[in-house]
């Protein structure tokens, strides 16, 4: 069990590093969802299924979905207009 927890903690550190070092906002959101899933698996291994289910619902689904909605509404790929420049 200790080896499994250690492996999951290492995977969690890699997933967190993926969130931090990814440049694209959409990829950051996906990496954040993966981080939430890894964290939920860690909670299941640590025998906390209620916390794991809450992490799946919030950390892996709800928050990334909200971030994707915000990113979709921002239109970041559009070039600035000439009137907006100083």
Band (pLDDT 50/70/90 cuts) for residue 16 is very high
Predicted pLDDT at 84: 60
With 0.75 as the threshold, say if the pTM is over it: yes
Task: Give tens-digit pLDDT for 63-84.
Answer: 999 999 998 888 766 666 665 6
Q: How far is the CA of 82 from the CAs of 1, 25, 55, 75, in angstroms? A: 61, 25, 45, 17
DSSP 8-class letter at 78: S
What is the rounded distance in angstroms from the CA atom of residue 5 to the CA atom of residue 41?
A: 10
Domain borders along the chain are 25-74
Q: Mean of the pLDDT values across residues 1-25? A: 92
């Amino acid at each position: 069990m200790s080896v499994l927890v250690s492996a999951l903690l290492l995977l969690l550190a890699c997933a967190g590093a993926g969130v931090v070092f990814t440049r694209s906002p959409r990829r950051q959101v996906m990496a954040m969802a993966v981080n939430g899933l890894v964290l939920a698996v860690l909670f299941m291994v640590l025998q906390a299924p209620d916390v794991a289910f809450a992490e799946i619902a919030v950390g892996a689904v709800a928050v990334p979905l909200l971030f994707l909605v915000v990113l979709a509404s921002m239109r970041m790929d559009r070039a600035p207009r000439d009137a907006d420049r100083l």
